[in-house]
Each structure stands twice: as C-alpha cells, then as structure tokens.
Amino acid sequence: MPLFVSIMTDKDTFFRVKRTLNVAGQIVDLSEPKVMGILNITPDSFYSGSRQQSENELLRNAEKMLSEGADFLDLGAYSTRPGATDITAEEESLRLIPAIKCIAKEFPAAIISVDTFRANIAKKAVENGAHIINDISGGTLDDKMFETMGKLNVPYILMHIKGNPQNMVHQNNYENMMQEILYHLSERIAQLKAFGVKDVILDPGFGFAKDIAQNYQLLKKLDYFSLLAYPILAGLSRKSMIWKSLNTSANEALNGTSVLNTFALQAGASILRVHDVKEAKECIQLFQLLNK
C-alpha cells in the first residue's frame, strides 16, 4: 500500500488537518465548523422536505437557509438514494444549470456546491456560477472527473462509495471497513494531487454501501480520517440509519440528526451537510460553548 504509507509517514500532514478552502479567491476558515444546506432539484429524493419543485420554492428555501446561517448551498439534480432511478446527463443538466443560475443571480454572495458525479456536469456547473463539486462517487463513476477538477481549480468533496446508487446496498462487504475506506481515500487523494487539485474535503459516505451497523461504526471512528489531514464532511441528515433505528421516518428524524451531528463535531467534522440549517447551527454553537 505505498500511497497509503506515503501519506501516513508525512509528519506535516499527519498531525495537521487543513482548515481553509479557497473558494473563488475567498478564503473560507474551517477552524469553526460550517453548515452546508441541501437543496434537491429532484422529484424522488428520500426526504420529501428537501425537494424543490419550482423556481420560487427553490429561492424561498435558499433564502431561508442563508438567513439561518448556511455557509454553503448544495444543489443536487440526481437522486442518490438507494435504488434511485438513473437519469441521463442531459436531464441532470436541464434540472441543475437553471437552478445554479437562479441562485447565483439572486444571492451573488452564496457559495454554491453541486452534487454530481459527472465531469461534464461539473464543468457546466462551475461555468454557470458553482464554486464546489460534491462527488458521491469519488471519481469512480467518471474517469474524467479528477482531470476536470484539476482544470476547474475549485474545492472537491471526495466521498467513499462502492458500486453506484442503483446497486450500492449489495456492496457493503468489507474485511476491515475502516482500513479499506481509509486506503481508498488516501489513494484517491494522491490521484487528485497528481492532477493539481489543492482543496479536498473528505466524506466517508454514510449510507453509501454501508448498512446501519456499519454506519454507526463509521461515526464512532470518524476521527480516524483526520489521519489524512483534510477536512471532514458529515452527511448524516435524516438518513435511514437514524429513522430505521428509531422505527420512525425521515420526516421525524430531525432530533436524531442533531444528536448524531453533535457526535460528528466531537469527532472532528468540519462541515455538517444538512436539510435543517438552523438546528445544525445550534449544534455547532452549543458544541463550541462546551469546548471553550
């Protein structure tokens, strides 16, 4: 495992997690945890409250999230819930690009992240006002993604997944899950560096090719990924690991989300990706008071 070893033996990165992002020339300080609000331009996302069905609804919810303190807005036009329907790049683009333009025009100071695994969509998104690419596949579903990211020169969220949204529920077989994910991410980081990508955010992929027990193991050992010396994003919001464990539903999973977000903060998460911005900001505020 030479790539893994090279990262693990670099003392400068071993003990120091990167705490800044360069977003269109603006330095974003991650020493204080940030919140990413989810806006889905899809008809079939797992949480119905996140679906935007019109331009007015999109702008209204974007304004609400920004007023509640969202540091980033994450737009997605391809549902990645387990078993989601595959859509073409053309359909994804038709949903996504007008939404980016709309938000960029109405809220020019907003930092827009785009949830896509397609390199050509990532390129179009940045050309039309997006600032961050959030790739659920970590470059495994489009072999042009890393090269494209090197040219775009924007922050990249590198997530762990096995398989794809259509078959990932059957891909949760690991000999040593934490070691396999850590090695996979370290290998992908080395490839991104080779293409000149400077700002990387790590997402261990809660719910993506992991069952409920594995998700809790992942959260319990989340600080393990600080070994890679990059900021960590925790995407736990209203996921089935919460509501299935409580025998409720995604609509009733806000309290459980706040609990798990607090554990993620304790484990060193720099960004909380959520449907409910106000509550996530409150988690961060109380966490910081506790750790003063």
> Which residues are designated catalytic?
239, 273
Question: What amino acid is encoded at 154 in this protein?
Answer: V
Strand order in the sheet with 233-234: 200-203, 156-159, 132-135, 112-115, 72-76, 34-40, 271-274, 233-234
Distance CA 259, CA 248 (A): 15
What are the DSSP calls for 101-153, one per residue? HHHHHH-TTPPEEEE---HHHHHHHHHTT--EEEETTTTSS-TTHHHHHHHHT
Classify residue 6 by its DSSP letter. H
Q: Is 205 left (phi over 0), alpha (psi -120 to 50) or beta?
A: left
Euclidean distance between CA atoms 247 and 251, whole angstroms: 12
54, 92 contact by CB (below 8 A):
no
Describe the chain by its helix, strand, coil percentages, rounded to 5.
45, 15, 40
Q: Which of 159, 151, 160, 233 is nearest to 197 (CA)?
A: 151
Cβ count near 30 (within 10 Å)? 18
Nearest to 258 by CA among 285, 280, 232: 280
Side-chain half-sphere CA neighbours of 279 within 13 A: 16
β-strands 72-76, 233-234 pairing? unpaired
